[in-house]
Structure 1
C-alpha cells in the first residue's frame, strides 16, 4: 500500500440529511485518489443498504462503524438531550476509533490518518482531533445563510433582538450584513427561542456552534452564485472556506449512469420504485411532488387539509407520507380513510420515494417541500420550482432564500385547503413561466460551478491539494 496516500476520516451527524451530502463528498474525495474512512455509528450502519456495492465502485472508500455509547432502545431524537448524550458518551468511542486506525496504519493495513472532516453539528470530534493533534475541517450540510445566523447571535443579543420581547416570529430583523431582507425571528437557530440567554444551556449551544471556526477550514454544500450575498461574510469567520456544492450533482457528473444507484446507498429509508412507473403514465410537467423530508412532523388535520388542497388543485400528485411524518401523539391515526379519498384518481401515495429520480422525471412540474437544504438543492438542479412549507431549523431561512431572493418558488402562507389549492395553481399554472425562467438560470450557474474551471470544481481541487499538503508536512 502507498503510505503517502492521504487518509481522510469523514464523520456525519447520524441523520439522513447530513449523511447523504457527506457521503457524496467522501465519494468525490475517493475519486480524487484519497483514502477515505467514512465513520458512522453501528445504529446508522445497519440501516444503510448495499454498502459493498458502493465500496466496489469506490475502492478508496471504507466504512468504519463504531459504538455511539447509547443503549439500543435510545430514541436518538435530535433534541438538546441527544447532543448532550453524544458529547459525553460517544466522544470516547470516537477517540478509540481514531487510535485504532493508527494501529491499522502501523500494521500496514491503511495509511495513517491525515485529517478529519467533521459534521459541524458535532463538537466532540473537534475536541478529540485537537487532543490528538489531527487537523480537522468542518462540514456544513445546511445553507451558508443559516450558518451566518449563528455567528450573528452575539450581535443580536447586544442589540436586544434576542431573547425575543414578544411572540411575533415573523418580525424582520435588520442590520445583519449578508442577511438583508431574509432574516426574521423564526429564521434564527432554535436556541434563540430560549427565554434566558444567560442560561448554561444557551451558552453551551452557542459556544459549541461557534467553536467550528477553530477548524482548518469550512466545507459547505453550496455554490457561489446561489448564496452570493452571505458567503463573503461567512468567509470572514473562517481561515478557509470551500463551497463545493451541489454535492449530489457534482457526484452525478463524475459517475454518470451510476448516479441513481449510488444515491440509494445514502438513504436510511427504502424507496418505493413503483412510483416511477406511475410517473411514466403522467403528462409532461403535470405532477406535483410532495415530500416533507425525514424529520418534519405534521398533524393529521394538516395532512387532511393537504389532501383536499392537492385534489382540488386538479393536478396529479405524488405524495410521500412515511409513518414518522405524523406527530408522535397522533401516530395511531396516521392514515385515516379520508386521506385516501381522491388519491386513486388524482395521485399516488408512497412511504418513501427515490427523490433525485422523481425530480428528474419529465412528468414532475413542482415540488411541495419542507425546504431542507438537500431537497432545495436537488430541486434547483432538477429545475423544478418549489412551494416551501418549512418546519424548523434552517428550513425557514431557506424558504425566504427561495421565495424572496432567488424567486424560484413561493412560501405556503397557510395550511388550509383553499390556500394549498391556490398556491399549487399559482406555481403550476399562473406563475409557471416566471419561476421556470428563474430556476433555469440558477441551475445553469450550479452546473457551471461543478464543471471544469467552475468555482465548486476549483474549490474541491483546492481542498484536495490542501489535504495533500498536510500529508507532505508530516
Structure 2
C-alpha cells in the first residue's frame, strides 16, 4: 500500500508585524494538525525575528526560509504602489527559485513535495508564480470581512457614480452595499478612493490584486462568523472557498494550553520589553490604560505630546508603546522630550514594544487606546478590554465603526487634543465602564465559542486542513 505523503504548505506573509503574526499563528495550527510548513520571510524581516528557536522547538514541522525582496537595502519599503510594484517585479524570480529549490529537496527526501501555497493576499507576486508552476494557492486576508467586502465593491461604486467624489466630504454615507448599511462612509474606503480619476493606475492595481484573492483555491480570513455575519456570506459568494478561522491567536492558544505562555510573543519583529509586566503586577485591577498605535502609524511630536498631556490629565496610570520610528522625522531618541523616553515613571511606563497579548490579559489593564488594526481589535475582544479607537489608515476606520456602533465595545477618539483624549479615557474607564463590559463579555463569548470544539472557526480550520490533504502534491 502506497504511503501517504505529508502535506507541505508554503506560507508567505507581507513583511509587516500585523501580517506576519496571524499567518504564523495559522502556520502553528497547521503544524499541530501534522502538516509540514515552510514559512517564507524576506531577508530583512527574517533578521528581525526575535524567537525563531523557541518556535521551531515547539513546532518542529515549521521550517523558516527567507528570500530577498529584490529591493536595495536603503529602500524605505513604505506601503506605496511603487513598493508593491517593485516587489512584483523584483521578488517574483526569488520566490520562484525558492519553490523550485524546495522541489529539488523533495527529490532527495529532505522535505515533502510542495502541496500548496498560502500567501498574504496583498502580495503581488505569489499568484502569478503559483500559476506558472502549477501549484494550488490559497489567499490569506489580514483584514476584517467588512473591509474586504467594501474593497470588493469599489468597481460597483465607480459604476454607480458614488466614486469618485469631488465635494471632499469623507463622512458622506456609501449606499447600496449589502451588509454595510448604516456604517459605511467614504472615510472607510481605502485612501486611494479620493483620487479623481477612477481609472488611475493605483486604483486598478490595488482593486485588481484584491479581486485576484477571490480567484484562488480558497480565501482564509482571520475572523469568525458570529462577529461579521452581515458580510461573511457576501464575501463567501464572491470567492471559491471561504475559511473563517479566527481569532487565530486565541485559536492556537486554546490548542497549546499551558505551552502558549512560553511562545506568546511569537513572530515579533521587535524586541519585546518583558519588564513592563512586572510593573503591571504592582498596579490596581482595571486601573491601567494600555496605549499602542501598532507597527505602521507615525505621528508628529506635537501629536504625541497632546496624547501625553491627555494621559497624564486623566489621572490613570498608563503603559504606552512608542516604537522607534513612530515619530515623524525621528529615527532614534535624539530630540525627543524626556517624558516620551522609554522607562517607568510615577505616571506610567513607556516601552518600545510590548508583549501585547500578555498585557491585554493582565488584570491591571482596564482599557486599550488603539489605532484599530484588525489584529489589535481581535486581541482586545478576546481579552475583554474596551477600546478607545484612533484610526490611522486603511481598515482602521471601518474597524472603529464596528467597535463603536455595531458591537458597542468602545468609542472613537474624534480628535487628538489633550482635552478630548482625557475625556475619552475617563468615559471608557469610569462613566460607561459597565455598559462596555456587558457588550464586551458577549462578543468575547462568541469568540471563545467559535474556536471551541464544534465552533464555527474550529470546524472551518478542520475543513481547511482536510482540503489541503486532498490536494495532490507538486513534486
Q: Do both share a fold (TM > 0.5)? A: yes
Question: How far apart, in 2, do the equivalents of 1:205 and 1:197 lie?
Answer: 12
Q: Tell me the residue number matched to 2:102.
A: 101
| 1:271-301 deviation line (CA, Å, top 9, x unaligned) | 1111111111110101000000010111111
Q: Tell me the residue number matched to 2:68.
A: 67
Question: How far apart, in 2, do the equivalents of 1:173 and 1:105 lie?
Answer: 51
Question: How far apart, in 1, do the equivalents of 2:433 and 2:199 lie?
Answer: 48
Q: TM-score, normalised by structure 1?
A: 0.96
Q: Which moved more, 1:32-41 or 1:2-11?
A: 2-11
Q: Which moved more, 1:333-342 or 1:59-68?
A: 333-342
Q: Tell me the residue number matched to 2:239.
A: 238
Distance 1:111 1:473, change over 3 A: closer
Q: Tell me the residue number matched to 2:422.
A: 421
CA contact (8 A) 2:342 2:351 kept: no
Question: How far apart, in 2, do the equivalents of 1:262 and 1:178 lie?
Answer: 37
| 1:291-335 deviation line (CA, Å, top 9, x unaligned) | 000101111111111111111111111111112211237977762
Secondary structure in 2 aligned to 1:328?
A: coil
Q: Tell me the residue number matched to 1:120.
A: 121
Secondary structure in 2 aligned to 1:312?
A: helix
CA contact (8 A) 2:188 2:394 kept: yes
Secondary structure in 2 aligned to 1:88?
A: helix
Q: Tell me the residue number matched to 2:469.
A: 468
Distance 1:342 1:448, change over 3 A: closer
What residue ranges of structure 2 are gaps of 5+ in the alignment? none
Q: Which moved more, 1:108-117 or 1:318-327?
A: 318-327
Question: How far apart, in 2, do the equivalents of 1:241 and 1:211 lie?
Answer: 14
CA contact (8 A) 1:300 1:333 kept: no
Secondary structure in 2 aligned to 1:111?
A: coil
Q: Tell me the residue number matched to 1:218.
A: 219
Q: Tell me the residue number matched to 2:317.
A: 316
Secondary structure in 2 aligned to 1:138?
A: strand
| 1:404-463 deviation line (CA, Å, top 9, x unaligned) | 100000000111111111111110000000000101111111010000000000000000
Aligned-residue CA RMSD (Å): 1.9
Secondary structure in 1 aligned to 2:471?
A: helix
CA contact (8 A) 1:36 1:62 kept: yes
Question: How far apart, in 2, do the equivalents of 1:117 and 1:472 lie?
Answer: 14
Distance 1:58 1:342, change over 3 A: closer
CA contact (8 A) 1:299 1:330 kept: no
1:449-468 equivalence runs, <5 A: 449-468=450-469
Q: Tell me the residue number matched to 1:194.
A: 195
CA contact (8 A) 2:289 2:317 kept: yes
Q: Tell me the residue number matched to 1:267.
A: 268
| 1:157-207 deviation line (CA, Å, top 9, x unaligned) | 112221122221122212211111221111101221222112233222221
Question: How far apart, in 1, do the equivalents of 2:108 and 2:68 lie?
Answer: 23
What residue ranges of structure 1 are gaps of 5+ in the alignment? none
CA contact (8 A) 1:295 1:324 kept: no
CA contact (8 A) 2:9 2:114 kept: yes
Question: How far apart, in 2, do the equivalents of 1:413 and 1:473 lie?
Answer: 52
Question: How far apart, in 2, do the equivalents of 1:2 and 1:296 lie?
Answer: 50
Q: 1:343, CA displacement in angstroms? A: 7.4
